[in-house]
Amino acid sequence: MKKLLLLAVMFISYGLSAQTSPGDLYIQNYTPHYIEYFIWRSNLSNTAGGCAPTLEPRAATGGLMKLSYSTNPGYSSTDALHQFNVNTTFSANPAFPTTPIIGAWILNGINTYTAPAPILTTFSNATTYHGVKFGVQDINGVNIGGYYSLGQECGGPIIPDLSYNPNAVIAGSFFSFGGANWMILY
């Protein structure tokens, strides 16, 4: 029985990992609030070099990305998928149409790329999504909370949930599963 259970878990894990690309970032918003956010993407193994290279996204409208609220809070989510290859983030994702479109990637705080480029593929392979900083707005666009951080900053500890902030207006978790990173807000 133990072997069957182990075998079943192995097949389920394999099936789940086959559904995601290594390094994708999924965000699920189960709250009745807009989420404005900024993604951290860099090389965490290079702490001596400030985790360079770093890639910073900007929304197509400039500034932070904005994920809509759930129309059925607590039961259904509004989802975003930021794929491992950042060149795919310049256009709408038909599988995740609520994903905010990224209008630019800034490489190492200096060079800005507003369209797919071979150098972005190179740096996609050298970096991973590892955290999100976000704020919370009501449905009228009024800021009601934040900014909060989930994930891992360069050289810092992993922040898996919002328990570090007793005044947070929502709850959230950040974790890795199936080869991807996930941020769930509820």
Q: What is the pLDDT of residues 131-149, one digit of tens each?
A: 999 999 999 999 999 899 9
Our CA angle for 60, 175, 2, nearest 5°, is: 140
Distance (Å) of CA 85 to CA 59, 76, 105, 128, 177: 16, 27, 12, 10, 18
Distance of CA 51 to the CA centre of its chain: 18
Q: What's the mean per-residue pLDDT of the chain? A: 88
- Is a pLDDT exceeding 70 seen at residue 5? no
Q: What is the pLDDT of residues 145-170, one digit of tens each?
A: 989 999 999 999 999 999 999 999 99
